[in-house]
Structure 1
Amino acid sequence: MSIRTSPWRLLSAIFLLLALAIPTGYAAPADAKTPPKAKALSFAGTVYYVDSAGGSDSNNGLTPATAWQTLAKVNATTFDPGDAILFKAGGVWTGTLWPKGSGDAADPITVGKYGSGRAPLINGAGAANAVYLYNQQYWDISDLEVTNDSATASNRRGVYVVGENAGTLHAIHLRNLYVHRVKGDNTKDAGGSAGILVEVKGTTVQTSFDDVLIENNRVSSVDRTGIATFSSWRYSAGIGYSGPAWVPLTHVVVRNNFVSDTGGDGITPHVTDGALIEYNVVDGFNVRSGTFNAGIWTWASDHAVMQHNEVYNGNTPMDGMAFDIDHGQTGTVVQYNYSHDNDGGFVLVCKDPAAGFVRDSVIRYNVSQNDNTQIFGFCADSENTKIYNNTVFVHPDTAPYLIAVGSSAASAYWANNIFYNLGEVSYLMNGSANTFEHNLFYGYHPSNEPSDANKITSDPKFVSPGSGRDGMDTLDGYRLKTGSPALGAGKLVAGNGGADYWGNAVSASAAPNIGAYNGAGVTPPNLTVNPGFETGSLSGWTTVSAGSSPASVASGDVRAGAYAAKIYPGAYLEQTVTVQPNTTYTLKGWAKPTGPGLFPGQVWIGLQDAANPSLNGFYEIGIAVWKPAITTFTTGPSTTAVKVYINYTSGADYALIDDVELTKN
């Protein structure tokens, strides 16, 4: 079936150009790196068409009108370099797709679709694998829907590519696939259950894959792992145990994938050298496994780069971090990522206590919001970890370890990080191998907070702290306002990467900002009138008094400036503010109840909008210190005004209010 012997070459190429419809997925950002060795599709060979409804295996398969019908026909065929296997859009095939043969460096074999409509569906129907390759190379598989459901869990995968005792295999490209409903079991790593798994097996001939591209795929509702690579040739010096020598997968790129609802791990490119894991989203990991899992993590892998990824809704404190630099690694970089609402925390640096090492890791320019349990976790003796210019926001209703160092020999250098602690954080700092320079610790200060000769403890003046939502582009609230003490106050770090989370330049010679933002200070307009009551009056505010004492202005016990508002139980302050429809805003205010005892009173700072009741969010403060109330909301299609209100609903004495801000995100 070589192009050199097929009389159908020209006709097949014409049909391909007319009928092939390859969806674009979502495009990589402009600064996304080109995957090593990635090639444009080449159809130099014969094009074969497969139609589940209108085809026949007695046909020659060379035109849409003479298409094959079944997977059995495809699986019984050995394809040549440059051939293409195209499944008709909207078609459904049951069983395992396992075409034979390999392409070459000039002409890979392509699997895709023709026609318009829903992607062709390969339904494994409980088989071990829905799509399978074994000791094959130079394949480009794209534009399929893949599922592998069953009534019972078993060791099962959606897409499984295996190399075994075969030397170096090349160019496995898996793109624009929708892999879902894979009823795997709790098996992970070697032969594990997964949505997409590229694995090396065997122990007699050193084997690896070079040039693995897993891009623009959607993987959801799978057990156990979303996307993974693994190898039996994994015993590097960093692993520290005997076994087949380390032969890593190389030129591995995992990019622009959306992984959700995984039973266990999200994305695990294990046993790699130089892997690039970027622009991925993991939403909801460890949903069913109940064991140790993480969102994106590497193992037995040197020089991996995890960047521009978003991980959230991790459902476990057993590990449970968004990111993990795990056992047997040198030079892994975690940068420009957004971690939020993960039960386990932001990042784990971990090695086996009995052997091996984790060395020279770098964690920089990341934002962590509302993560829990252990924001930064260390186990055993990680070496020479550099952690700088990260921004961490701890939610008021949480009490995590902000830093948990489980070994006295774990060494890390901490510089230029902002720890915005509204929760009751604590620290577990075994040993003295950690160095802190020019970090900003704001909010709650436990007695064991790390010492730092250049520590800053004042408000960093974020534009809108805590306002991040789902999406990498929702973090402008963590830019620094004009006048922030973090501006230009950082420590110069050699080899700093040259850019912050937002893409602002970071100088190699001038002192940077503290935190993940290195741009100039910004001054977002505050839409409230007289927000800090610095007029010495309540001008701009309407007073609604349900009690015997009206609201007033106080001096002395204020958060900032010369004045604050004073309200008594049952009293309201409110003002109406003009806003834009379909726009996101952040409301922030500071309050201090003054009643006696452990529960001095309730202060609500919130919004009202009769046209959009969902805006009636509030934040409750019930402790006799100045604390911020922060809520983020999006207006409806017809919303043009909202009412900002402050209410002291219960308690003795009075409450103080200061610095109320409503800003557009």
Structure 2
Amino acid sequence: MKSLVVALLLLPAGHLESNVAGTAYYVDSKAGDDAAAGTSAATAWKSLAMVNAAALKPGDTVNLKRGGGWSETLTLAAKGTAARPIVLQPYGTGAAPKLSGQEQPCVVITGNHWKVAGIRASNCQWAGFEISGDGNELDGVAADRNIAGVHVAPEGSRNTIRNSTLTGNDRMSVNDDGGDNDSGAFGVLLNGDDNLVTGNTITGSYAASKDYGVDGAAIEIFNGDRNRITHNLSRDNVTFTELGARKGSTATGNVFAFNVVTSSRKLGSFLVTRGSGHVVGPVKGTLAVHNSVYLPAAKTIGWSCHDGCAPGILKLRNNVIVVGGEMGWEDGKGADDAGSVYLGRKKRFTLGPKSVIADPRFVSRTDLRLRPGSPAVGRAAVLSPVWFGGSAITKDFAGKALGGARDAGAYQH
């Protein structure tokens, strides 16, 4: 016994705590009972109010019964740690646990270091998942029929949204005549800093707008700095990304890398950003690298950098952008472009070094891998990890490491 005590005392700080199992709680919307203990599947609670009131600690787990549904707000306010997050996940068999109801928010994360997996939030008051805490992770969640599938508030930072399906978030928060102020239909809306959005499938962020005809974005950034948007599949959204910053605020240093963007809509765009002359500009230091885009309709645009564009506003490297409309649009000093392949009816920008206008020879309209003989093969400039937001992101859309001779676009041949 003495040797065991000595061994425990010699463990690094925090090691003993990290090996202490947390408490598991269970919630079953059909067969649960709020008078029960809630600590086993046989004694599950019924309502989410019991979770909201529980004194959750690092390492605890909250399990929601598959096939269950709740029209309540789940507020995740407790604080886990990086080593011992608090976990929210499904149990049992059947459909993902679903939270819904336009009368109230669905999943609200105000705490830190939560890991939320396998939960669906549908037709909620504002966002399916609202995050204002730090260090949280959404992994394999689903959100649909919301104004925003996921909203990271200004207070939220260092959160991760990965491997999730955000479908048909097609409602507007503002949709009135005049004022150039309609807003809504976001897959992900980022108002916070240093967040990672990776490996998600985002479709149908598309809604009627009185100001613009239609509106919506797979991922919109407003007043958010240093966010990394990588390896996402975007289909049939109005815009893949639009960036803006309120005067006196910033949206600086955001990175878009290895994303695949396609659409069958009549209009749309890949990236829209602004200079200092715009009411929500300037948006500085945006990097768009190794993205593949196919938007074949006539009223489409690859990228737009307007109202005072400059290299300090937008840098583009090694993208493959095919549109039925305008390949790119710049004013002012123009964006900084290189190593890309473009195809479209017209352009209003200066091609950078090694950039060409040519058919990239995609496999199909929805499969943007390169066929043999593509002019994108071997065309890319070799970039340091800072262009991708870190060395961990230097793999193509399919997970293939970048070699010495690199191809433009999201896929390496």
TM-score class, shorter-chain normalisation, is: 0.7 to 0.9
Is 1:419 aligned to residue 357 of structure 2?
yes
Which of 180, 196, 220 pairs up with 1:253?
Answer: 196
Any unmatched runs of 5+ in structure 1?
1-40, 150-154, 163-168, 183-192, 201-207, 232-248, 287-293, 395-399, 406-411, 422-461, 481-485, 508-512, 521-665
- Is 2:263 aligned against 1:313? yes
Matched, 1:322 2:265: no
Residue identity matched to 1:107: R
SS for the counterpart of 1:129 is coil
Give 1:346 deviation, angstroms.
Answer: 5.0
The answer to whether 1:268 aligns with 2:220 is yes
Instruction: Please state if 1:178 is matched with 2:147.
Output: no
Q: Which residue of 1 aligns with 2:314?
A: 361
From 181, 186, 189, the counterpart of 1:225: 186
Contact 2:317–2:380 (Cα < 8 Å) also in 1: no
Whether contact under 8 Å (1:350, 1:358) holds in the other structure is no
- Structure 1 residues 385 and 283 mapped into 2: Cα distance closer, same or farther (>3 Å)? same
2:50 aligns to what SS in structure 1? helix
Aligned partner of 2:168: which letter? S
Please give the per-residue CA displacement for 1:131-176, whole angstroms capped at 9, x wherever unaligned: 1133x22221111122116xxxxx62211123xxxxxx52121111
- Distance between the aligned counterparts of 1:366 and 1:120, measured in 2? 39
Deviation at 1:92, TM superposition (A): 1.7
Q: Is the 8 A contact 1:297 1:323 kept in 2?
A: yes
Task: Choose which of 279, 296, 300 in structure 1 pairs with 2:231.
Answer: 279
Q: For 1:198 and 1:467, how far apart are their aligned partners in 2?
A: 35
Map 1:433-444 onto structure 2 (within 5 A). none
Q: Specify every segment of 5 or more residues in structure 2 that has no aligned partner in the other structure, as ranges.
A: 1-17, 171-184, 207-215, 245-249, 275-280, 389-393
Which residue in the other structure is 2:112 paired with?
137
Letter in structure 1 aligned against 2:54: T
Paired with 2:141 and 2:410, the residues of 1 have a C-alpha distance of 35
Amino acid at match of 2:271: F
* Alpha-carbon offset, residue 297 of structure 1: 3.8
Cross-structure match for 1:125: 101
What is the rounded CA distance, in whole Å, between the counterparts of 1:518 and 1:260 in structure 2? 20
* Distance 1:467-1:67 versus aligned 2 partners, 3 A rule: closer
Residues 276-318 of structure 1 show CA distances to partners (whole Å, capped at 9, x for unaligned) of 21110111113xxxxxxx212444433322111111116464x
Letter in 2 for 1:364: R
Cα distance change, pair 478–217 in 1 and its aligned pair in 2 (3 A):
farther
User: 2:154 aligned with 1:213, yes or no?
Assistant: no
The 2-side partners of 1:478 and 1:43 are apart by 57
1:476 lines up with 2:371 in the alignment: yes
Q: Secondary structure at the match of 1:363?
A: strand
Query: Alignment partner of 2:261: what SS?
Result: strand
Distance 1:366 1:42 in 2: 46
2:241 equivalent in structure 1: 296
* 1:74 alignment partner, SS class: helix
Residue 466 of structure 1 deviates from its aligned partner by: 5.7
- Residue 504 of structure 1 deviates from its aligned partner by 4.4
Distance 1:342 1:492, change over 3 A: closer
Cα distance in 2, alignment partners of residues 494 and 55 from structure 1:
55
Answer whether contact 1:505 1:518 (CA < 8 A) is retained: no
Distance 2:189 2:20 in 1: 29
Alpha-carbon separation, structure 2, partners of 1:466 and 1:195: 30
| 1:267 partner SS | strand
Which string of whole-angstrom CA distances, capped at 9 and with x for unpartnered residues, describes residues 3-62 of structure 1?
xxxxxxxxxxxxxxxxxxxxxxxxxxxxxxxxxxxxxx9984211111112211001111
User: Which one of the candidate residues 21, 32, 35 is aligned to 1:58?
Assistant: 35
- TM-score w.r.t. the length of structure 2 is 0.74
Counterpart contact for 2:126–2:148, Cα < 8 Å: yes
Cα–Cα, structure 1 residues 376 and 49, in superposed 2: closer, same or farther, change >3 Å? same
User: TM-score, normalised on structure 1?
Assistant: 0.47
Closer, same or farther in 2 for the Cα pair 1:65/1:196, shift >3 Å?
A: same
Q: How far apart, in 2, do the equivalents of 1:90 and 1:276 lie?
A: 34
CA distance in 2, matches of 1:69, 1:259: 32
Q: Compare relative contact order (CA 8 Å, sep 6+) and give the higher one, 1 or 2.
A: 2
Q: Alpha carbons of 1:221 and 1:519: their partners in 2 closer, same or farther (altered >3 Å)?
A: closer
Q: Show the counterpart of 1:48.
A: 25
Q: Which amino acid aligns with 1:172?
A: N
Q: Tell me, what secondary structure is at the counterpart of 1:209?
A: coil
Instruction: Select 2:152's aligned residue among 182, 191, 198.
Output: 198
Superposition deviation, residue 419 in structure 1: 0.8
User: Any residues of structure 2 matched to 1:347-358 within 5 Å, and which?
Assistant: 347-352=302-307
Matches within 5 A, 1:262-661: 262-263=205-206, 264-286=216-238, 294-299=239-244, 300-313=250-263, 315=265, 317=267, 320-326=268-274, 327-341=281-295, 343=297, 344-345=299-300, 347-352=302-307, 359=312, 361-369=314-322, 371-378=323-330, 380-381=331-332, 383=333, 385-394=335-344, 400-401=345-346, 403-405=347-349, 414-420=352-358, 465=361, 467-472=363-368, 474-477=369-372, 479-480=374-375, 503-506=402-405
**Corresponding residue of 1:161:** 131
What's the secondary structure of 2:51's corresponding residue?
helix
Name the SS of the counterpart of 1:348 in structure 2: strand
Q: 1:108 to 1:517 in 2, by over 3 A?
A: closer
Percent identical: 22
Structure 2 CA distance for aligned equivalents of residues 478 and 267 of structure 1: 33
Q: Which amino acid aligns with 1:475?
A: L
The within-5 A match list for 1:144-155 is 144-148=119-123
3-state secondary structure, aligned to 2:49: helix
Matched-pair contact (CA < 8 Å) for 2:225–2:252: yes
Match of 1:93 in 2: 70
Q: CA RMSD in A?
A: 3.5
> Do 1:43 and 1:84's aligned partners in 2 also have CA atoms closer than 8 Å?
no
SS of 1:323's partner is strand
Q: Quote the Cα distance in structure 1 between the aligned partners of 2:382 and 2:141.
A: 41
* Whole-angstrom distance in 1 between the partners of 2:218 and 2:337: 23
Contact 1:332 1:360 in 2 (8 A): yes
What CA deviation, in whole Å up to 9, does each residue of 1:536-569 have, x standing for no partner?
xxxxxxxxxxxxxxxxxxxxxxxxxxxxxxxxxx
CA distance in 1, matches of 2:22, 2:395: 46
Quote the Cα distance in structure 1 between the aligned partners of 2:355 and 2:395.
Answer: 12
